[in-house]
Structures are given as C-alpha cells and as structure tokens.
Structure 1
Amino acid sequence: MSDSKSNDTEPTGAEIACFEVGIKFGSLYHQFAGTPVSPDSADSLAHAMEAAIENQPHCESVTVEMDDDALAAAADGDYTELTGRFMTVKIVVVREGRTVTARMAMDDGYPLMEVESVEKG
C-alpha cells in the first residue's frame, strides 16, 4: 500500500496506520476505564496497561503516565475509578510503512485522543 491512491476508495498507508492507533486507544480506554485505582496501585496499573496494549499487532510502544496528585485528591485516602483525567498516554504504531505517534491528554475536561505525527519508515 502506498500513499498514492489508485482510486478514491482505497485507504493510504498513513490512513491505515492512523486507524490502527485508534484501535489501540479504544482498546486501552474502554478496557481499563472504571478499574479501581489508588495512589499505591497506579504505577502497577500503568505498567499493566502498557504491556496489554503492546501485545497487539503493529504496536511499537505505549507509555501511560498517571497523574498522582489528581489520583490522591480523588481517592481521598482510599481508591477511585480510573478515568482519562488521571492519565496521559502515548502510543506509537508502525504499519504500512508509516510510524504514527498519538497521544491522549485532558483538553477542556475531556480525554482527547489525537494523532501527533505520521512519518514514513
């Protein structure tokens, strides 16, 4: 697959790679949203999330950073449910000759997932 379309319906390599990173984010968010998390368990949960998503095809790397201060405030000494407001995620996918880097971070109170870059190679 190349980025030159042979017709208007054939996806480019970049489009295929971007779709793939979207699948990874959907899986990560919807698999783990609602998981009980505390400040003490946040790091182990982040590592488990990274390992789970990195198992998927075409996934080069996953980085999950927990917001320890927000977790501590929400947990109030106990635990809370995981939502997008407690984490920043970066996923790198390599597919169809393209490397896509995407990120999820809070934007106006919403965990926005967006493509940061698409590179050849």
Structure 2
Amino acid sequence: MDESPTDAQVACFEAGIKFGTLYHQFAGTPVSLESAASLERAIEESIENQPHCVDVTVEIRREELETELAESAADYTELTGRFLEVEIVVEYEGQEVVTRMEMEDGYPLMRVVSVRRSSEKE
C-alpha cells in the first residue's frame, strides 16, 4: 500500500530543493571581498522567492575568501561551497524545517537541523 508523504517530509523535500537550486545556480559566480555582501543578498532574495521558503541567511566566509585571494593573481575567485554558510527555513502545512550548509571536514555539508510544528516556535 502506498503512503503519502507526511507534511514534515514534504517540508524537508522543499528545503532540499532550495539547497540544490542555491548551490548549483550560484557555484562558479565570481566573488571578491568587495562583492561578497551584495552576492549574499542576491542569493538570499533569489532563494526566498521559491514556494514555502520563509527565511534564508547566507554568509560568505570572508576569512576563507581572503586566504584564497591572497594566493591568487586575480582580485576575485569562483564561489564554491567552502565559502558559504547558509541557513534556510521552510514552512509547509504547519511544519517548519530549518536546514543548514556548513563546512565539515573540508566538505560543504547540507543537513536538516530541526523539524517542528510552526506553532512550536520559540
């Protein structure tokens, strides 16, 4: 017998779609110390346009970016996961999912942080 996904499962799926879009849409974008803030805002605003997305926070890791640029002849580099810390909040049918992407052991790991009923917010 087929079971329909729960609202929490759909909310998690929606969060995964947002991360897939964010990562693959913006990976390779030229970024410099001067453009980092505007790129953060552009990514946030772009992803927030998607259905069920209620909040996106993007931080380009300036220290990592600065290190990369110090070793380069150029004044910009390509945006990759190692420069990003991201939090995405999705709400679907009363379920809130908080997801994050952070560097872990040299890899930009995306994970579900919490799933709860929207009414349980602190």
- Whether the TM-score (by the shorter chain) exceeds 0.5 is yes
Deviating above 4 A after TM superposition, structure 1's stretches of 4 or more consecutive aligned residues are none
2:77 alignment partner, one of 77, 80, 85: 80
1:15 Cα deviation from its structure 2 partner = 0.4
- Root-mean-square deviation (CA, aligned residues, Å) is 1.1
1:39 alignment partner, one of 8, 33, 39: 33
Alignment partners' CA distance in 1, 2:117 and 2:2: 21
Give 3-state SS (helix, strand or coil) of 1:78's partner: coil
Alignment partners' CA distance in 2, 1:45 and 1:31: 12
1:112 maps to 2:109: yes
1:73 Cα deviation from its structure 2 partner = 1.2
1:87 Cα deviation from its structure 2 partner = 1.2
- Whether the 8 Å contact between 1:66 and 1:86 is mirrored in structure 2 is yes
Counterparts of 1:10-21 in structure 2 under 5 Å? Answer: 10-21=4-15
Q: Which amino acid aligns with 1:117?
A: S
1:8 Cα deviation from its structure 2 partner = 4.9
Alignment partners' CA distance in 1, 2:11 and 2:69: 37
Counterpart in the other structure of 1:4: none
Contiguous gaps of at least 5 residues in structure 2: none
1:19 Cα deviation from its structure 2 partner = 0.1
1:96 Cα deviation from its structure 2 partner = 2.2
Alignment partners' CA distance in 1, 2:11 and 2:63: 34
Contiguous gaps of at least 5 residues in structure 1: 1-6
Counterpart in the other structure of 1:3: none
Q: Which amino acid aligns with 2:11?
A: A
Q: Which amino acid aligns with 2:92?
A: R
